[in-house]
Amino acid sequence: MTQLHHLDAVDQAAALQSREVSSVELVQHHLDRIVHHADALGAFITVTAELALERAAEADRCLAAGDAATFTGVPTAFKDLTFTAATPTSMGSRVMRGFVPPANAYVVDLVEKAGFISLGKTNTPEFGLSSYTDNDLIGPARTPWDTSRNAGGSSGGAAAAVAAGLVPLAQGSDGGGSIRIPASACGIFGFKPSRGRVSAGPLGSDWSGLAGDGPLARSVRDAAALLDAIAHPMPGDVRPLPAPPVPYAEWVGRPPGRLRIARWSATHLEGIAPGPDAIAAWESASALLESLGHDVVDIANPFPQALEPQFNVIWSSGIAGALIPPESDRLLRPNTRYWRERGRPASAVELSQALQFLELTTRQVVTDLQAYDAILTPTLALPPQPVEWFNESGDPAEDHHRELLFTPYTALYNMSGQPAASLPLHWSAEGLPIGVMLAGLPGQDGPLFSLCAQVEAAAPWHDRRPPGFA
């Protein structure tokens, strides 16, 4: 018999609608898995079992009355950077321990409107600053494929939870790769939407244009369904994209046609190159795309190295401007203090120049890429790394350098605003997941879903589960 946690969210919703299982049973099953695997994975900072079961009982009443939304009663989770009015939101920091936001993030309201039930808040690094997940609250999130290795960040807890079957899908956020990095490290599908596709309201801000919410899932159709739920602008959004005229769930069923796909593996950073596992995954994906009838064309990486220092001005200015009381600085992790110290000297002129440089430079890159329908690169340059690897030196500058060695590709699409996805198409000889990244042109999220679904159908990954978490 199929285990409940083997079903993706679409199949769980169908089982609930047909009354094969109740929401209380489904939610309790996943809560039991969270408890059983909590120590091994570090996936959740907060578990809201009582509230989830109350909502599951209400979901069952709605299902029985025929008054249910598409995903009524299906479990999920929110990243602990995402404001939830009824639940503490620590942002992975001791400074924020016990903080309960005054309102939900709009994305939370939309996910709940679709019928999903949150089981809690997933682990994240302090203020989401790192490409790995670790903090002083509960420690690291670990990939279920090898629990001695980090799950990636900053949506590491969400990715670990999905990969281990603690929830079928989860919300993540991505300002420099924070959905795609842990998706690769945990062997699942992660999708960063186009800039402006998902609202940051009502209390959040996308002032830099880098960050946005998106889905982490085991199937492309689940990711599309979650994005359908949250891709709705809120009044007052600074750079909204309209709600898509065609649901992403429909794009999943559309053949993409014959596409022209650019590929490169060289990074834009001098002295940083992909490892052999990343190259093997990229070459294998290239061959698969060609076998599907696509034209795969080698081009040079069009993003210049000059983007990196300007990105760092924006990144550090954001955390330097965070409203953290000076007396709380001592509670921050060294990595957080490092970025705040880098950002404090930046003037308004320097920040303005950095923002304009990113916009002008990536606009030209996107213009030059108009001849292509999609882009293929590695997701990460390295496999999932041991939990101590990033900060074992004790030097935050070395920590940052190792993050660049690990993830030199993902932040480029945050700068350009393009949609991008990590697909779990390859595993190393040691059994570690190695993702590849497909990106589309800005605003072309639907066609990218169509291509990803075609690739998934040709090389399915849904039934590949980490040993010990099946």
pLDDT digits (tens, 9 = 90+) for 379-424: 999 999 999 999 999 999 999 999 999 999 999 999 999 999 999 9
**Res 1: pLDDT:** 52
Q: Is residue 340 pLDDT above 80, yes or no?
A: yes
154 is known as an active-site residue:
yes
79 is known as an active-site residue:
yes
CB 387 within 8 A of CB 134: yes
Q: Is residue 23 pLDDT above 60, yes or no?
A: yes
Query: In whole angstroms, how far apart are CA 287 and each of 246, 260, 292, 333?
Result: 30, 14, 9, 43
Identify the active-site residue in 93, 178, 199, 316: 178
Percent with pLDDT over 90 in the chain: 97
Task: Give the Cβ contact number of residue 22 at 10 Å.
Answer: 18
Identify the active-site residue in 22, 90, 93, 154: 154
178 is known as an active-site residue:
yes
**Res 284: pLDDT:** 98
AA letter at 200: A
| Mean pLDDT, the chain, whole residue set | 97
Superfamily for 4-458?
Answer: Amidase signature (AS) domain (3.90.1300.10)
Burial 387-416 (b: 16+ CB within 10 A, else e): bebbbeeeebeebbebbbbbbbbbbbbbbb
The residue-averaged pLDDT of 35-39 equals: 97
CB 265 within 8 A of CB 274: yes
CB 206 within 8 A of CB 238: yes
Identify the active-site residue in 79, 316, 422, 450: 79
Sequence-ordered list of residues with C-beta below 8 angstroms from that of 21, at least 6 positions apart, any chain: 4, 15
AA letter at 41: L
**Confidence tier at 256 by pLDDT (50, 70, 90):** very high
**Confidence tier at 243 by pLDDT (50, 70, 90):** confident
